[in-house]
Amino acid sequence: MTDQDLMIELQRQNRDSLGFIPDSTLRDRYCKQATYLISTHRTAGKIGFLLFGVPRRNEALYIHQTCLQLDYRRRKHAAELVRRLAEIATAAGCTEIRLRCAIDLPANSFWRWFGAELLRTTPPKTPGSRALNHYALYLDTDPHPLFRSRTIQPCVQSASDFSAPPSSSVEPNDGSSLLLPGSTQPTSTL
């Protein structure tokens, strides 16, 4: 399965949760500019993706869409995608990572747990659309778990934000890895 095929398939499977991005945009923007990351698992292969804008010095880098197969929606897979994006953003001189998440999605719990700051919530713009939470992960300081070594320290707002606290050390490798676009070799192990 190509990276683009994975993105199209996951978008179709999750169309009620994700914003619509045409197949041609996936091909002509994200795949052509290599502004995406793929998450893989040792036995399952490619399990998810993260789409982002072009990194620019002294500007925010925007996450446009991220999705993991349902069976692999554990925090460590998403966290590894965001950590890798943070490395890209930092190397490019970006100031922060920003994203929007529909207010009714369970992913809000992940972003709060990961240390994203909720900047604002915007109401639905049209009938049938949803309110959106706008988040930022800052790269120029170290208050967020994004840059703490070896483990993520949760920024918990309520007990329902996570099912169990993360361990105080690195989780053992379960065969997960992260691939850069066009690569056949993992760049890091989860």
**In which residue are the tokens 């972003």 written?**
111
Six-digit token string for 55: 């990194």
> pTM of the predicted model, to two decimals?
0.72
What is the domain count for the chain? 1
Using the CB atoms, write b or e for 44-71: b if 16+ within 10 Å. eebbbbbbbbebeeebbbbbbbbbbbee
Q: What is the pLDDT of residue 145?
A: 52
SS3 at position 70: helix
At 167, the amino acid letter reads: S
| pLDDT surpasses 50 at 85 | yes
Q: Which domain holds residue 101?
A: 3-189
* Domain CATH code at residue 180: 3.40.630.30
pLDDT band of 168, cuts 50, 70, 90: very low
pLDDT band of 140, cuts 50, 70, 90: low
